[in-house]
Amino acid sequence: MARGTTPTRAPGRPRSSVDAEVFAATLSTVHELGYTRATVDRIAAAAGVAKTTIYRRWPSKGALITACLVDAFGPLPLKEGDSRAEIMATAIRYAAAKIGEPGIAAAFAGVFTDAIGDPGLREILSTQLQDPYRTVLQDALDEPEHRVLFFIDVVIGTLLHRMGMTGEPMVPTDVDALVEMILRELG
Amino acid sequence: MARGTTPTRAPGRPRSSVDAEVFAATLSTVHELGYTRATVDRIAAAAGVAKTTIYRRWPSKGALITACLVDAFGPLPLKEGDSRAEIMATAIRYAAAKIGEPGIAAAFAGVFTDAIGDPGLREILSTQLQDPYRTVLQDALDEPEHRVLFFIDVVIGTLLHRMGMTGEPMVPTDVDALVEMILRELG
DNA sequence: GGGTTTTCGCTACTAGAAGTATCGATACCG
DNA sequence: CGGTATCGATACTTCTAGTAGCGAAAACCC
């Protein structure tokens, strides 16, 4: 019964594996031009695929960018045996590093904006991007849901606001201050 | 030499005073439809003016929304004789209340997104919206610029992230937690 | 090899929004 | 009344999200 990942191979031409190229092209295009001017046409051209291929895989530009963010963030690099404070500090520094990577903050802010007034996209954003980290942190920190959500608001919100206002990632000194502040709050 | 606000009245038909109506229409339209679908056509119609009239006064949609935000926030309601902690707490609760008002968060997030990749708009946003509060707070709190900027990142970023993710303003309990956390950081 | 199914790239298209141009009408000043 | 600058209205250009349809290509099964 070991069917693996392909229960019974679907008939027809299989999809070519271009997700990695599309995600890379998406981030670099958003980084260069910003969310609004990073059109799907340009992303497709940069990835070397047709625009229709992109729309066959992701239903909208917002969904594409969200998937790109989910792929870019990946799982939290938590070590077994770390204390709550160590876990929190690791998570904050990981978030700061990721949001400082080219294109990430611009993509995040853009999908955020589109999500307001588009409940479907907000659902995707909350479910696919935030929830995985929330549940992992609830478990690792042994904190209730509303506390973890508060921490996420503070950390991600602060980092995004800095990137949006200045266009530059938060400097290490300020990331340190953020870590210290959250650790005091964690208790 | 007391020329007042009109040094020498300019010739020609004077501008009708429709800023208040336009700002109100902007916020309600953005509140109803979100930033992206709040088109200048719709805003103009809601305000009862022609679209061309709006473009005569503000050079772009982003500039209009920024001006609308500047108008909506207004000056910080600081009392003489308050302690640093009281000033900070007042400022945070004021920001939380304002960002919870209909349309403010959506407008903020939208202009934020447009500002990435549009250096001109980012300049407007930073100069006209953030700087006034930064200087007032630097003075009132007797804190260096980078500390005040850090506080602004944390407070505004947190409040906006919550609004963006949930569509609802931060509940009073969490605003209290935010105040407490910042006051500990303020020392 | 031949048939089936599905994806591919490509081109063309629709719908909608930002921003501009033009023009007759209008409001204030002297 | 004449000069000037704004007003509303309409039409327009340019750009973008997203869709439709086509022939070609890539897998699979017989």
From A109, A153, A158, residue closest to B153, measured CB to CB: A158
Asked whether residue A180 carries a pLDDT value surpassing 80, the answer given is yes
Asked whether residue A4 carries a pLDDT value surpassing 60, the answer given is no
Q: Give B20's Cβ-side CA count (13 Å radius).
A: 2
pLDDT digits (tens, 9 = 90+) for A83-142: 999 999 999 999 999 999 999 999 998 888 888 777 888 888 899 999 999 999 999 999
B157 in reach of chain A (CB within 8 A): yes
Strand boundaries in chain B, DSSP class E? none
pLDDT digits (tens, 9 = 90+) for B148-175: 999 999 999 999 999 888 888 999 999 9
Question: Phi, psi (5° rounding) for residue B135?
Answer: -65, -40
Confidence at B120, pLDDT banded by 50, 70, 90: confident
| Residue A177: partners with Cβ closer than 8 Å, 6 or more residues away | B150, B185
Q: How far is B13 from chain A (nearest CA, A)?
A: 37
* DSSP three-state, residue B19: helix
> Is the Cβ atom of A37 within 7 Å of strand D at any atom?
yes
Angle between helices A84-100 and A172-186 (to 10 degrees): 150
From B105, B119, B150, residue closest to A177, measured CB to CB: B150
**With an 8 Å Cβ cutoff, are A115 and B36 in contact?**
no
Burial class (CB in 10 A: 0-12, 13-18, 19+), A138: middle
The rounded distance, in Å, linking the Cα atoms of B21 and B47 is: 5
**pLDDT for the residue B167:** 83
Contact B64, B128 (CB under 8 A): no
Average model confidence (pLDDT) across chain A: 91
Cα radius of gyration rounded to whole Å, chain B: 18
**pLDDT for the residue A8:** 61
The pTM score is 0.90
**pLDDT for the residue B5:** 43
**pLDDT for the residue B4:** 39
A6 sits in which H/E element: none
Residue A53: nearest nucleotide (C-alpha to C1'): C8
Confidence at B16, pLDDT banded by 50, 70, 90: confident
**Strand D, CB < 7 A, residues 57-86 of B:** 57
